[in-house]
A and B are shown apart, each in its own frame.
Chain A
């Protein structure tokens, strides 16, 4: 019997471009074309390689997750493994003083151990991967936080190590890229060419069938999860080298980003379908999206919205194609939901177009918005001042943003106001890198992690960009000036003076801070302790609790303090969202003998100040501070701040003192019942 193998039915073994990959390739192409046209710095080698550099850690995770998803499993713990490995690196280097080689070896071992636990539960005990890795996701992050008390930040790694994450090979290729390339090739061989890979697809399609064919299911799963831990460990080491910093919250959210990239690339979470090439496509798509959005000065949140919509769109479109394919395969059946399906797809496409349209309109509105006024360059180009808050979604920074916009309007400059949307330290770095590519005139950044940001800020200075910091400083040689709203000593003094005033006979008090890892807040706590030692010996600091800048958490912590430490008479919140939380907790507990003070915005504390629960808050005009960021940035970009000057003229703020390289906004003010209603921030 002669056998015809029709060319159409023959599956090419190496690169089957599935439906979803085709859509993705088309979307990727459209994306590149769009950004190249819209953002002039997009299409170039430097930008391209920077995009790649930032994708390496995520790329490693995506590559490791692909075969796991193909077997119908999942690994939610990869991000937490990155964090734990980073901590291991930090501890081994700083506390054990091991040579770098041993440090790296230990970190890899930690990564493998994390993978081994998953492998034991999932491969050995055959427990469901979703829940096991949910558990290890919580466990590993928890261990990292427990070891470092959430606070410690390891820096000071040797330059030879940092080269791995920040250096360039042959001047263009980021040093960590070859590692990703090698891993991707290795995994491609494993998945698409090797005997093991064939078994993996079988397991994903039909585990029982695979077992009956003699495929060693357990062994394969153990291998995959073990490898995943190892690769996450490598990613953690690279991330530390990249940022020059090791903290317990490194890698937060990476697991979901990696899964997004893999699913976008056509891998089905049910198993049995997917390619490594698709995952890499998905990764590149997401990285380019983020990069392009930054270069267009579009807000970071929009990237998230578009990612969510794109994910739904591509998977839906692929599903519809798959549905018609299945119908051809297994016989006809009435499709009652064709109408619903079409409606869904139409809805997704409409939402996507609407979001893209809005983005385009708001972008063009932005640049055309600011009125012509003083400050234009003679060549007719407007200054671009890029200001970065520590985190978006924080009322403190939002009110500063209002001031920044005011200054931008007054001076006729283009303001880019953007910042990270999550705790991930690398987001700030990435954004600054993009701004460097855009060749903005000034960067004014509130630094969340000075260890990692200093490096990239130095780079910006080298490229001729004026660099200032505000609210929280970097290393002095990484910036031109630091806009200090108030010195840490001044803040500490004002707070402790208020505390003394409210507890004239002395007593216990508690501090509630933001995240344990916030550098400036830790500095303030240190200064407070110094003040206590020096001048307020009758006041005792009973405890310091974190609130992660979350009002509800501050609420809970205050409740606990009131119950556990009944002698505490004062709660001092040095995180703005925490004050209302503490106030509410004190009010609800009925403890009228306890006062609440802190650093916070009048707008969110108003009801509590009027009610008397919060006696006073200490702050500076955040609006003024925001105004200053743009004004000082503008001055510095024109080199109008002479070296050695002791004061500058800051528009409507008048003359401000300059101490060395610090520009001081003023003294912190005490806000209470008497003056709160006059303030508008």
Chain B
């Protein structure tokens, strides 16, 4: 089975060929054109020029229904499920859309959905409403959908971003099985380690052009990065030794009954980067939200030695805590607002006098941070939604830096960010530590955590399973703590 494609505008004459039974990875920085490519293949968007061929036959007038009928299925980073409908219906409704029969057989739906979910090794009750599932479970449902569609061409856009290591392994096993069945998989990811593990061939996109197409076995990480960025980047993390100061944040026996956090105790000093590792759902983001006042805490938090109660984000901000959230597009920035307004939003007092906002000071503040963080934007009055993911993240970061926090919580700060911006953000984090900020870094990328942090706290099922520093912070040790084995 072959698939070739050429397109323009965001893509300049890109050709990709996918063979049956292969995993073909697409890598590239943000804005390189990967999402556009996916949209064109699924029919959500139209190419200006070029053609799509499936099994040698050209595809005329593509749209979501046509592409589905051709056996093309797409899995995106954010699960798009119907929260009010059951898991069984979520899986089956899209599959039924092309069928001729207009009625619904609930029993067969249930049966099929159960079998699909089981085949992924998951235990999700098909009668649950999808809105009540965790992110990871939702993603599994998405994959079940694709599998159920008997898709022969699978497009996966950052599917593992919200999965734990074990779930990733399960997905990879599934991918290998699908490969053996003759399906072709187009796999987009930023996680180069994963790509090198699963892909057969790798195509590198840069600025809308196809730069190279290589066999995975013949190329290494550094070379890949070079091709993606067009320049050589040291693939080490910029962590350097930083003078550590007094204890800035201390947590003793913190719990959040409703969300399953239990008896968390740790401390972070000024200048220290404290990493939080663990499986998705282990409680790291819950801890962050609790510290930031978005969720109720059971006990006080100690800041610079003083016990404080944090009931709301306003309390947290007053105490010098900042939080860059995990979901950038929903919580980190407001897409419709311009860059200047986003940056000043958390610290309007600094650009206003007696309750009235000064637009001039706001623009000046924004300009300062645009320069400092090297945010690529036409102007500070541009809507933030127009920027690339990495630049949006920088805007989110700038917002919190503008508040001058003493403790900064970063939740997956480089998730979905291109390699170039990633490096810049890492450098920035180290600079902040140098300036005496205490930093909590939540990340699911072990290399990132290991490379950036002084100490690492490993979460498991709502508890802090252990704290590692220096030589003992090895990948196997972190993993075993995260999995709950002592």
Is A212's CB under 8 angstroms from B382's CB? no
A211 to B367, CA, bound (A): 24
Q: Does B317 reach chain A (CB closer than 8 Å)?
A: yes
> Within the complex, what minimum Cβ distance (angstroms) separates A202 from chain B?
6
Q: How many residues of B contact A (CB 8 A)?
A: 47
Stretch at the interface among B104-112, B141-149, B167-175, B353-361: B353-361
Is A11's CB under 8 angstroms from B381's CB? yes
Which residues on A are within 8 Å of B, measured CB to CB?
Answer: 1, 3-6, 9-11, 13, 189, 193-199, 201-202, 205-206, 208-216, 272, 329-334
Q: Does B371 reach chain A (CB closer than 8 Å)?
A: yes
Indicate with 1 or 0, residue by residue over B396-415, a CB within 8 angstroms of chain A CB atoms: 00010000000000000000
Is B337's CB under 8 angstroms from A212's CB? no
Is B374's CB under 8 angstroms from A198's CB? no
Q: Does B323 reach chain A (CB closer than 8 Å)?
A: yes
- The chain B residue with its CB closest to the CB of A195 is B348
A566 to B345, CA, bound (A): 70
Given contacts A9-B382, A195-B355, contact A205 B336 (CB under 8 A): yes
Stretch at the interface among B206-214, B326-334, B442-450: B326-334
> Within the complex, what minimum Cβ distance (angstroms) separates B37 from chain A?
13
Is B379's CB under 8 angstroms from A3's CB? yes
Is B381's CB under 8 angstroms from A209's CB? no
> Within the complex, what minimum Cβ distance (angstroms) separates B377 from chain A?
9
- Which B residues touch A330, using CB under 8 A? 385-386
A89 to B374, CA, bound (A): 62
- Which B residues touch A201, using CB under 8 A? 337
Q: Which of A195, A206, A210 contacts B335 (CB 8 A)?
A: A206
Q: Does B370 reach chain A (CB closer than 8 Å)?
A: yes
A5 to B352, CA, bound (A): 21
Shortest 6 CB-CB contacts between residues of A and residues of B: A212-B331, A214-B313, A13-B359, A195-B348, A213-B345, A209-B334
Given contacts A193-B357, A215-B345, A334-B46, contact A202 B378 (CB under 8 A): no
- The chain A residue with its CB closest to the CB of B317 is A214
> Within the complex, what minimum Cβ distance (angstroms) separates A479 from chain B?
54
Q: Does B97 reach chain A (CB closer than 8 Å)?
A: no
- Which B residues touch A10, using CB under 8 A? 379, 381
Is A9's CB under 8 angstroms from B379's CB? yes
Q: Does B314 reach chain A (CB closer than 8 Å)?
A: yes
Given contacts A9-B379, A212-B323, A213-B399, contact A272 B336 (CB under 8 A): yes
Is A189's CB under 8 angstroms from B379's CB? no
- Which A residues touch B336, using CB under 8 A? 205-206, 272
> Within the complex, what minimum Cβ distance (angstroms) separates B67 from chain A?
14
A208 to B355, CA, bound (A): 23
Q: Does B69 reach chain A (CB closer than 8 Å)?
A: no
> Within the complex, what minimum Cβ distance (angstroms) separates B395 from chain A?
12
A360 to B164, CA, bound (A): 72
Is B313's CB under 8 angstroms from A211's CB? yes
- Which A residues touch B359, using CB under 8 A? 13
Q: Does B190 reach chain A (CB closer than 8 Å)?
A: no
Is B46's CB under 8 angstroms from A6's CB? no
Q: Which of B10, B36, B337, B356 contacts A205 (CB 8 A)?
A: B337
Interface residues of B in 357-390 (CB under 8 A from A): 357, 359, 363, 367, 370-371, 374, 378-383, 385-386
Q: Does B338 reach chain A (CB closer than 8 Å)?
A: yes
Ordered by A's residue number, 15 sampled pairs between the chains whose C-beta atoms are within 8 Å are: A9-B381, A11-B338, A13-B357, A13-B359, A194-B355, A198-B344, A205-B336, A206-B334, A212-B331, A213-B334, A213-B345, A214-B317, A214-B346, A330-B385, A333-B45
> Within the complex, what minimum Cβ distance (angstroms) separates B157 from chain A?
16
- The chain A residue with its CB closest to the CB of B356 is A193
> Within the complex, what minimum Cβ distance (angstroms) separates B322 from chain A?
9
Q: Which of B334, B352, B363 contacts A195 (CB 8 A)?
A: B352
Is B313's CB under 8 angstroms from A198's CB? no
Is A198's CB under 8 angstroms from B9's CB? no
- Which A residues touch B352, using CB under 8 A? 194-195
A385 to B346, CA, bound (A): 65
- Which A residues touch B152, using CB under 8 A? none
- Which B residues touch A208, using CB under 8 A? 330-331
- Which A residues touch B314, using CB under 8 A? 214, 216
> Within the complex, what minimum Cβ distance (angstroms) separates B393 from chain A?
14
- Which B residues touch A211, using CB under 8 A? 294, 313, 331
- Which A residues touch B341, using CB under 8 A? 198
